Amino acid sequence: MVVHYLPYAGSEPALFLVTGGRGSGKTSWCIELLRQARSVGIEPVGLVSPAVFEHGTKAGIDLVCVATGERRNLAVRRQPAVPGSAAQQAGWHKFDWQFFPDVLAWGNQVLDTLPPGELLILDELGPLEFFEQVGFTAGLEQITRQAFKITCVVIRPTLLEQALGRWPWAKIITIADEPGEGNQP
């Protein structure tokens, strides 16, 4: 995967919304950006969420703190909700993934305690944040604060309109499908 560190000479903070279809390599792109930033002396911060595969199928999502490398299991594939169950009544049945609240809280703690800096990477903000006002809400706040020279946030294509409504100054980077890419930080 080719990623060129985003040297930005402007005086205003830059926000890049990284988007692309499922499996296009958005997380791999973020991880390569981390590698390249470090190679030029930049210490990025934030969170990446690489997929966990079992028998060739995406079975989970991990969460990795960019600064420390600490890794926790963020989500597992959800079984379909039973009609009339508490999960269905609460609305969580519409998501394909079961997120672990303690890991979401940890991710928010990581994001809440970030000092202003050069590069923030957040992989990803999705329906939890935009529609349910849960998930990595501290990420939404960090972006709005504009405390980083460059912020790169993964946003699925179906949420670009909501993201641009919130952050109209953002620029979009679209990742083309690149099958077979790995995504280990």
The domain segmentation of the chain, as residue ranges, is 14-174
Contact between 5 and 149 under an 8 Å Cβ cutoff? The reply is: no
Q: Among residues of the chain, what percentage have pLDDT more than 90?
A: 69
User: How far is 9 from 111, CA to CA, in rounded Å?
Assistant: 25
H helix runs in the chain, sequence order: 26-39, 86-90, 101-112, 127-132, 137-145, 160-166
Q: Supply the pLDDT for residue 93.
A: 43
pLDDT at 143: 95
Q: How many residues does the chain have?
A: 185
| DSSP 3-state of 93 | helix
Instruction: Report d(CA 143, CA 137) in Å as an integer.
Output: 10
Mean pLDDT of 32-58: 93
70 pLDDT higher than 90: yes
pLDDT at position 12, please? 84
The pLDDT, as a whole number, for residue 1 is 43
Query: Residue 52 in 3-state DSSP?
Result: strand
- What is the residue type of 122? L
Question: Do 151 and 13 touch, CB atoms closer than 8 A?
Answer: yes
pLDDT-based confidence at residue 90 (cuts at 50, 70, 90): very low
Please state the separation of Cα 108 from the chain's center in Å. 12
Global pTM value:
0.84
Mean pLDDT for the chain?
A: 86
Grade residue 23 by pLDDT with cuts at 50, 70 and 90.
Answer: confident
pLDDT over 80 (residue 81): no
Mean pLDDT of 56-78: 94
Q: How far apart are CA 185 and CA 162, in angstroms?
A: 28
CATH topology of domain 14-174: Rossmann fold (3.40.50)
- Could you read off the pLDDT of 140-177 as tens digits, one per residue? 999 999 999 999 999 999 999 999 999 999 999 999 86
pLDDT of residue 6: 59
